[in-house]
Amino acid sequence: MLRSLYSGISGMKNFQTKLDVIANNISNVNTAGYKKSRVTFKDIVSQQIAGAAATTPDRGSVNGKQIGLGSTLGTIDVIHTNAAPSTTGRDLDIAIAGDGYFRVGSGAETYFTRAGSFYLSDNGDLVNGDGLFVLTAANGKINIPNTAQSVKIGPDGTVTYVDATNNNVTAGQISLATFSNTGGLEKKGDNLYRESLSSGAEQVVAPGGGSSGVLQTGALEMSNVDLSEEFSDMIIAQRGFQSNAKIITTSDEILQELVNLKR
Q: State which residues form the domain around 41.
A: 3-53+60-80+225-260
CB atoms within 10 A of CB 225: 22
Instruction: Tell me, yes or no, whether 207 and 238 share the same domain.
Output: no
Instruction: Tell me, yes or no, whether 203 and 234 share the same domain.
Output: no
Instruction: Tell me, yes or no, whether 185 and 128 share the same domain.
Output: yes
Instruction: Tell me, yes or no, whether 65 and 108 share the same domain.
Output: no
How sure is the predictor about 1, in pLDDT bands with cuts at 50, 70 and 90?
A: low
Instruction: Tell me, yes or no, whether 73 and 104 share the same domain.
Output: no
Question: Could you report the per-residue pLDDT of 4-40, keeping only the tens digit for each?
Answer: 888 999 999 999 999 999 999 999 999 999 999 999 9
Instruction: Tell me, yes or no, whether 254 and 210 share the same domain.
Output: no
pLDDT of amino acid 147: 87
Residue with the bigger pLDDT between 252 and 141: it is 141
Question: Could you report the per-residue pLDDT of 37-75, keeping only the tens digit for each?
Answer: 999 999 988 888 888 989 999 889 989 888 888 899 999
Instruction: Tell me, yes or no, whether 90 and 75 share the same domain.
Output: no
Instruction: Tell me, yes or no, whether 72 and 41 share the same domain.
Output: yes
Question: Could you report the per-residue pLDDT of 191-228, keeping only the tens digit for each?
Answer: 999 999 999 999 999 998 888 999 999 999 999 999 99
Instruction: Tell me, yes or no, whether 175 and 113 share the same domain.
Output: yes
Average pLDDT score over residue span 86-102: 95
State the pTM of this model.
Answer: 0.87
Instruction: Tell me, yes or no, whether 66 and 94 share the same domain.
Output: no
pLDDT of amino acid 79: 95
Looking at the 3D structure of the chain, how many domains does it have? 2
Instruction: Tell me, yes or no, whether 202 and 99 share the same domain.
Output: yes
Instruction: Tell me, yes or no, whether 116 and 134 share the same domain.
Output: yes
Average pLDDT score over residue span 62-91: 92
